Structure formats: C-alpha cells, structure tokens
Amino acid sequence: MTFFKILAFLNKLFLPSLTKKRIDIAKAKKWQLALLAWWFYITKNALESSKKKGF
C-alpha cells in the first residue's frame, strides 16, 4: 500500500464523516472546510498513486 492509501484508510476510521451529517458547505465552519480539503487532497493522491501503478 502506498502512503496516501494508508492515510485514506486512517481518515475513514478516525475522522468524522461530514457528508453523513449533511453539512452545508456554505455554512460550514473553518475547521470543517479544512477537514474537507484534507479529505480531498488525500483521496485525490491515493487515487492517482493507484492509477500510476495500474491497480
């Protein structure tokens, strides 16, 4: 597993899911926006690393 895949797995285990709570992005707090940005960054890189290896 790559570094980003491990981080994506840990995010799924430990960080709260904002989509299940139906958080409105327009009304989200700064820490919620930062958490969404973090999830996006890790997920994007995990997908790119698996795409490069052909998985």
pLDDT of residue 42: 92
Note the pLDDT tens digit of each residue in 1-55. Answer: 689 899 989 888 888 777 778 888 898 899 989 988 999 999 999 988 877 766 5
Helices (H), 1-55: 3-14, 30-53
Tell me how many degrees the CA angle 16-22-28 measures, rounded to the nearest 5: 80
User: Global pTM?
Assistant: 0.72
- Measured over all CA atoms, what is the biggest interatomic distance in the chain, rounded to whole angstroms? 39
